């Protein structure tokens, strides 16, 4: 299986420099990855580096906690679109979900989807902080809010993607939403297991090793 087109080549470290972002953009073009996944301050620069290529840009919004206001997420998403992003990964407000406020979560997602102006929005559920019933509820919020994907993890919390969570997400969303697995995926075997469980996209900083 050719895995390169599944890959969001990821660099979200707070100490990433312009040279680092240029490097991952160059790597993504060289390996024909689907997108680079970066923090929002780098979107405009990445768009300049990737201009004319087939590699897209995934801009992360409300990252990594998801606990900022909806207005802040909307502003960040609008700026990302203006700067040239092609996709958006937003973090669910996990605290609101755990508190039972699914309507808030759905509205938060819907507002970012509107701000994305037709660009795919992936909702990061942070499954390591949720039980199975909460993962299902989070998936329902994402679908109700118009998201294109549900995503397992930021990679910055207590755990990353698991086959169990990906399979549960697939059973929940069916063919109504796509799934991105991210966090702790370092090998080809890891990626294939996630795809077998139902993932349509893989987010990893180890994309080159995975596809080698």
Q: Which of 34, 73, 122, 180 is catalytic?
A: 180
Residue pair 74/107 in contact by the 8 Å Cβ criterion = no
Q: Are 146 and 122 in contact (CB under 8 A)?
A: no
Q: Is 180 a residue of the active site? A: yes
Q: What is residue 37's three-state secondary structure?
A: strand
**What is the C-alpha separation between 48 and 142, in angstroms, rounded?**
31
Place of tokens 């294109």: 148
166 near 198, Cβ under 8 Å? yes
Active site (annotated) includes residue 102: no
Q: Of 89, 108, 165, 190, which is the active-site residue?
A: 89
- By annotation, the residues acting in catalysis are 89, 151, 180
């Amino acid at each position: 299986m050719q895995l390169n087109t599944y890959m969001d080549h990821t660099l979200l470290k707070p100490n990433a420099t312009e040279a680092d972002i240029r490097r991952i953009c160059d790597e993504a073009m060289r390996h024909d990855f689907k997108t680079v996944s970066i923090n929002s301050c780098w979107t405009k620069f990445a768009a300049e580096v990737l201009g004319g290529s087939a590699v897209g840009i995934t801009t992360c919004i409300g990252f990594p906690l998801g606990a900022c206001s909806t207005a802040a997420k909307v502003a960040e998403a609008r700026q990302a679109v203006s700067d040239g992003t092609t996709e958006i990964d937003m973090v669910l407000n996990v605290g609101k979900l755990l508190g039972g406020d699914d309507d808030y979560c759905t509205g938060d997602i819907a507002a970012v989807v509107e701000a994305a102006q037709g660009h795919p929005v992936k909702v990061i559920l942070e499954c390591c902080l949720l039980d199975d019933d909460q993962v299902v509820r989070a998936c329902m919020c994402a679908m109700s809010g118009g998201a294109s994907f549900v995503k397992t993890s930021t990679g910055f919390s207590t755990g990353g993607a698991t086959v169990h969570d990906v399979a549960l997400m697939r059973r929940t969303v069916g063919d109504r939403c796509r799934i991105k697995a991210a966090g702790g995926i370092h090998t080809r075997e890891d990626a294939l297991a996630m795809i077998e469980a139902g993932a349509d996209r893989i987010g990893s900083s180890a994309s080159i090793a995975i596809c080698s």
